[in-house]
Structure 1
Amino acid sequence: MSNTIYIEYNFTVTPREPASDILIAELGEVGFESFVEEESGVLAYIQEKDWNDSILDSIAILENPNFKITFDRKEIEQENWNATWEQNFRPIIVDGVCMIRAPFHEKQNVVYDIIIEPKMSFGTGHHETTHMMLQHILDLDVKDKSVLDMGSGTGVLAILAAMRGASAVDAIDIDNWCYLNAKENVERNGIDCISVYEGDASLLKGQQYDVIIANINRNILLGDIAKYVSCLLPNGVLLLSGFYNKDLDIITKKCEKEGLRFEKNLENNNWVAAKYVF
């Protein structure tokens, strides 16, 4: 595989909250795929092939007079990513029972011990959306169920579903680096019921699942909800995240149009993770 070049933006944000969350949400809409939150602001990464000189033109928060946001950018190769995330990646514990850690972190006494080496992939559990999706999975009975993790990133959500007893899990991501990274993390955690695929929702034709997890972004979700629903088995569950609370209504209306019923949502720093049932 050729070595992919990423563009790293280093944003200095004052005041940091809630501007950093808004910035991350808007950057995600235009193709940025990985973020590291720092005391001074946000590091954001986009593949060079997806980048252009006007990539930030639609980022409204940059023009908001209530915040001061400055930035610089540089190229970064994949092999340098480990050094970046090792400096910033801290182990986290979700609801006291699930630990997400790197291989170099000490193991603790938890029910679900997940080892993640994220490289350029999204999904360490630190971001609010991933954290809330982990909470949803911890609250959901997935034993002997079939599960889809759409936009799987590191594969952390698929791995937790498997650890909680799912019989078969498919993990799909459109990014080649995420695909390779998820395969590595699945193997690293000794999981044998997860199949990892590279691609988009076109891979779902003819598939059926009890539970579908999609932590992507609002626009992709709105475009693909109908495809997700076509794959849901009776009494199936759809978990959606990657969008702001202001978008919950439009997401819910789309789900209801496809025959789903809103059950509940979690919220953290204005990010939302919603549960819908068939």
Structure 2
Amino acid sequence: MAYMQVEIQCDDSTSELLIAALLDLSFDSFQETEGALLAFIEKGHYDEEALRTLLTNYKNEDGSPIHFLAEPLEEKNWNEEWEKNFDPVLIGEKVFIRATFHQPRPDIPFEIVIDPKMSFGTGHHATTSLMIRQMLTLKIENRNILDAGTGTGILAILAKKLGANKIVATDIDEWCITNSQENFELNKIEDIALLKGTIQELQLKSQFDIVLANINKNVLLDEIPTYATLLSKDGILVLSGFYETDADDIKGRAKNFNLKNINIDGLNSWACLIFEKTAQ
């Protein structure tokens, strides 16, 4: 099968936004690199004019335009290529994230198997690692958990392995819903409620003890009021997907909705903020 590779010059936060939009143009796999996003598409589905039009709607955080370079790839066994380039991840000596073709690690308390169709949501990105690090510090057993923007389902899977009671996982992308379900099955998990739509569209009625959201800054700023509404008294909100330089904006927005910042973590310039819901 012939593929095209498109190298899109963009910053990390813009890359996350572009992935969702590129899925609608039939791009089916991605790799985030330093200063660029590599997007792959079957040659027969590639529409350069549609791509060019799409990218005019986006800019980098510094206001600069998005540039791209497209080139055909030689035909390869892409599953084999993934296996060469997808390494297992160990976080905090407690969580081992691997693909089906890696050897298990029964000596690690929590093992998560992820089908590596894309390079995000596998534990390799700093924000995923930060979310997992913070989850390991929380009391999750018997708690009700919302995973907003579940991606590959990795955080929902960990929540289940940590003993969560009820888990609801949401995403706006059909691919993410499909891939999450596949990963739930790989990890022999059957009772996570998986819903497609924005957190506002879904109009959830349940209250949650912990809300997890690893999404880009602009989405978080928009959805923080809804997270606050969905949190139970003294509930915990864990947010990542933004740079350390953006933390004050997130904290300022959260403060307006009775969310008190109780912890901050960072890795490779990315940030993770933890909030507690306080009385009005």
Q: Calculate the TM-score normalised by the size of structure 1.
A: 0.81
What displacement does 1:73 show? Answer: 2.6
2:56 matched to 1:58? no
Paired position in structure 1 for 2:260? 261
**Of 173, 189, 192, which residue of structure 1 is paired with 2:190?**
192
2:88 matched to 1:91? yes
Residues 150-203 of structure 1, C-alpha deviation per residue, up to 9 Å, x if partnerless?
Answer: 100000000001100101111111100100100110111011331111111121
Mapped partners of 2:54, 2:180: distance in 1: 31
Seen in structure 2, the aligned counterparts of structure 1 residues 37 and 52 have a Cα distance that, compared at 3 Å, is: closer
Identity %: 36
2:119 matched to 1:125? no
Gaps of 5+ in 2: 21-28
Paired position in structure 2 for 1:176? 174
| Matching residue's letter, 2:262 | E
Paired position in structure 2 for 1:270? 269
Asked if the contact 2:114/2:152 (under 8 Å) is kept, the reply is: yes
**Of 36, 52, 71, which residue of structure 1 is paired with 2:31?**
36
Residues 133-160 of structure 1, C-alpha deviation per residue, up to 9 Å, x if partnerless?
Answer: 0111111110100001110000000000
Paired position in structure 2 for 1:15? none
Asked if the contact 1:81/1:119 (under 8 Å) is kept, the reply is: no
Seen in structure 2, the aligned counterparts of structure 1 residues 74 and 136 have a Cα distance that, compared at 3 Å, is: farther
Length, aligned pairs only: 255
Residues 38-83 of structure 1, C-alpha deviation per residue, up to 9 Å, x if partnerless?
Answer: 5x8644349989944361662266969xxxx98523589xxx8745
2:13 matched to 1:25? yes
Paired position in structure 1 for 2:23? none
Asked if the contact 2:4/2:40 (under 8 Å) is kept, the reply is: yes
| Matching residue's letter, 1:159 | I
What displacement does 1:263 show? Answer: 0.8
Paired position in structure 2 for 1:138? 136
Q: Calculate the TM-score normalised by the size of structure 2.
A: 0.80
Asked if the contact 2:83/2:101 (under 8 Å) is kept, the reply is: no
2:99 matched to 1:105? no
| Matching residue's letter, 1:152 | T
Paired position in structure 2 for 1:230? 229
